[in-house]
Structure 1
Amino acid sequence: MNEISFTGNVSKIHETRHKGNGETIFSFDLAVENGYWDKTREKWISRTRFQPVVTFRELAVNVAQTLKVGMAVTVTGLLLDDSFTPNGAQYAVRRDKLEATDVAISLRRATAVVTKTGKSREEEGREHNRQQLTTAA
């Protein structure tokens, strides 16, 4: 799997949405600083990238309840093409989004209290299948 990780600060939180089937979608923007110190000019050159991030299902619920603007996080996921061509335009607007598979809070300058949530339907299904296999054996 080709996963990528971005580390930065939450810069904007979008509204939580729900699909017709009840699936939760939570989006936020991550400010990723790629700056550097320019020795010749003796100053910091800032190159901040604002990366759109989207989360789904249980991860979306947990992230929506946890994240606040300014929090330092590391997001791992798939970088997907989200380009589009506006009506009447000849050229596409190029953009991408990070579909998160995991979001981790940085403890460099913060503390956290971890609360385990219930098992997902997928985890419960795997556990049920394991029980049935051991019963049948």
Structure 2
Amino acid sequence: MNDNTFVGNVSHIEGYRTTRSGDAELTFTIKIDNGYYDSQNRWISDTVTQKVVAYRRLAENLQTTFATHEKNGVGVRVIIIGKLRDDSYIPAGRDHRVNRTKLVASAGGADLSFATAVITKTGKTTTERGNERNREQLTTPVAVAA
């Protein structure tokens, strides 16, 4: 619940790194055009920039996808689904707060309205396979002895 969907172009890739826990993290920004036509049929641009952070497999898959693009992902039109999180801070030596948000992505991919894609399925990690087995064991009915 409360997922947000953003469609826009990748404008900047801040970086791909591994967190202390060993998970992949990809941070990038997308530009979302909320433009409209005015009463004289002129296009009025209203562009918003949104910071996006993806973790684990999604980060790995997005990084691989962006790396295959001629400009390392910049300009790729994407659809990103996730939850907005507060990313505000108070700069050092200041007494005012800088308000900003980041979108923590739960799903993402290329917008196929403007491109084509070749899908390459990735394998599951050992942890994911273990989690699947645990879920199967939890849903398996247990015979009760009479």
Structure 2 residue identity aligned to 1:27: T
Q: Normalized against structure 2, the TM-score is what?
A: 0.84
Which moves more between the two structures, 98-107 or 42-51? 42-51
Q: In the alignment, what sits opposite 2:100? A: 95
The whole-number CA distance in structure 2 between the counterparts of 1:36 and 1:122 is 46
For 1:6 and 1:120, how far apart are their aligned partners in 2? 28
Matching residue's letter, 1:127: E
Q: Deviations over 1:1-53 (max 9, x none)?
A: 2110001111111221111221111011111001111114x421111011000
Matching residue within 68, 79, 83 for 1:78: 83
After TM superposition, give the deviation of residue 78 of structure 1 in Å.
Answer: 0.3
Equivalent residue number for residue 57 of structure 1 = 56
- Alpha-carbon distance in 2 for matches of 1:52, 1:46: 19
> What amino acid sits opposite 1:94 in the alignment?
N
Identity %: 43
Q: Which runs of 4+ in 1 moved over 4 A?
A: 131-137
Amino acid at match of 2:30: L
The alignment status of 1:69 with 2:74, answered yes or no, reads yes
CA deviation map 1:45-84 (0-9, x unaligned): 1110110000001110001110211111110000111000
- Contact residue 58 and residue 120 of structure 1 kept, 8 A: no
Asked if structure 1 preserves the Cα contact closer than 8 Å seen for 2:34 and 2:48, the reply is yes
Aligned residues: 136
Which whole-Å CA distance do the structure 2 matches of 1:8 and 1:97 have between them? 15
Give the match's secondary structure for 1:13. strand
How many Å apart are 1:134 and its aligned residue? 5.0
Matches of 2:132 and 2:22 in 1, distance apart? 24
In angstroms, what is the RMSD of aligned CA positions? 2.0
Letter in 2 for 1:26: L
- State the secondary structure of the residue aligned to 1:16: strand
Segments of 5+ residues of structure 1 without an aligned counterpart are none
